[in-house]
């Protein structure tokens, strides 16, 4: 009786154990990947698309001709002189209100400040200075953040060489990060986990956390790929780093 029950337990335990292993292994070997769009050739036929006017070089399309035919005679040739000026609400014609005009409100402080920003473009020097100033602020903020991260993960390797390496890595990747201004969203963050071999070659770059914005994710992945080869990690080790991209 007893050995039989034990054997039952043993089987169940083995089953549970192998399941746990399977899950853990899957977790390990299946990192998050950006799904690449598989190559396929599509045929798009524009023949069925409703395209209204045949592209004739003469600017006399069917629609306009139709219109000419439909127009009643009386309106066919209105002479400009006889026609009263269009009562289009344009600037000088805006009539003043009869009652005493209320003094226009002074600009709100916020809008005035914003307006000041929109004044004619600053000189290149001013832009440079402003940029340097902003970068200095960002640098300080970045260091504070790094310290906080450092404090949170005490088990990570330490040392001046390691710190120097990280700052080199950071600078290198940053210098390759490009995004057109019109496509940059301010409120996003993407994390890419990279593994760098002792020679500085990129072993893998996986999107650990997507920003939810395709453009942003792609720009971050491109920055990592463009930054290869990296400086060799200190101590001849393979290095694994999580890169937090945030505009």
Residues numbered 74 to 93 that lie near another protein (CB under 8 A) are: 75-81, 83-84, 86-89, 91
Q: How far is the CB of 130 from another protein (least distance, A)?
A: 13
3: contact with another protein by CB under 8 A:
no
* Buried residues in 147-165 as b, exposed as e (16+ CB within 10 A): eeeeeeeeeeeeeeebeeb
Q: Per CB under 8 A, which of residues 93..112 are in contact with another protein?
A: 94-99, 101-108, 110-112
Number of residues binding to another protein, judged by CB under 8 A: 125
- The angle at the Cα of 53, spanning 52 to 55, to the nearest 5 degrees, equals 135
Q: What is the rounded CA–CA span in Å between residue 80 and residue 118?
A: 41
Looking at beta carbons only, is 16 or 199 nearer to another protein? 16
151: contact with another protein by CB under 8 A:
no
Q: Per CB under 8 A, which of residues 15..74 are in contact with another protein?
A: 16-17, 20-21, 24-25, 27-28, 36-37, 39-47, 49-55, 59-68, 70-71
- Asked whether the beta carbons of 234 and 162 are under 8 A apart, the reply is yes
Q: How far is the CB of 129 from another protein (least distance, A)?
A: 16
Q: Kind of pairing, strands 190-196 and 202-209? A: antiparallel
Of 140-148, 196-204, 230-238, which segment contacts another protein by CB under 8 A?
Answer: 140-148
Of the candidates 197, 193, 190, 241, the residue with the CA atom closest to the CA atom of residue 219: 190
Looking at beta carbons only, is 99 or 123 nearer to another protein? 99
Of the candidates 165, 239, 157, the residue with the CA atom closest to the CA atom of residue 198: 239
Looking at beta carbons only, is 125 or 181 nearer to another protein? 181
Tokens 């709100």 sit at which residue? 108
CA 16 vs. chain centroid, Å, equals: 43
């Amino acid at each position: 009786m007893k050995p039989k029950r034990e054997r039952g337990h043993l089987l169940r335990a083995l089953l549970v154990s192998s399941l746990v292993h399977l899950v853990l292994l899957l977790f390990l070997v299946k990192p998050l990947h950006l799904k690449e769009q598989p190559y396929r050739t599509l045929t798009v036929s524009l023949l069925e698309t409703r395209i209204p006017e045949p592209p004739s070089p003469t600017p006399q399309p069917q629609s306009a001709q139709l219109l000419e035919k439909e127009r009643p005679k009386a309106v066919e040739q209105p002479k400009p002189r006889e026609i009263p000026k269009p009562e289009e609400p344009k600037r000088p014609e805006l009539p003043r209100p009869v009652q005493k005009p209320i003094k226009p409100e002074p600009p709100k402080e916020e809008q005035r400040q914003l307006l000041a920003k929109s004044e004619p473009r600053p000189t290149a020097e001013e832009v440079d200075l402003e940029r340097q100033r902003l970068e200095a602020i960002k640098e300080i903020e970045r260091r504070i953040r790094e310290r906080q991260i450092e404090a949170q993960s005490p088990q990570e390797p330490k040392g001046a060489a390691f710190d120097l390496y990280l700052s080199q890595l950071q600078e290198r990747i940053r210098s390759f990060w490009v995004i057109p201004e019109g496509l940059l969203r301010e409120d996003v963050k993407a994390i890419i986990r990279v593994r760098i071999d002792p020679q500085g070659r990129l072993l893998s770059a996986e999107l650990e956390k997507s920003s939810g914005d395709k453009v942003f994710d792609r720009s971050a992945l491109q920055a990592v790929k463009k930054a290869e080869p990296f400086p060799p990690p200190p101590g001849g080790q393979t290095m694994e780093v999580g890169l937090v991209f945030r505009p």
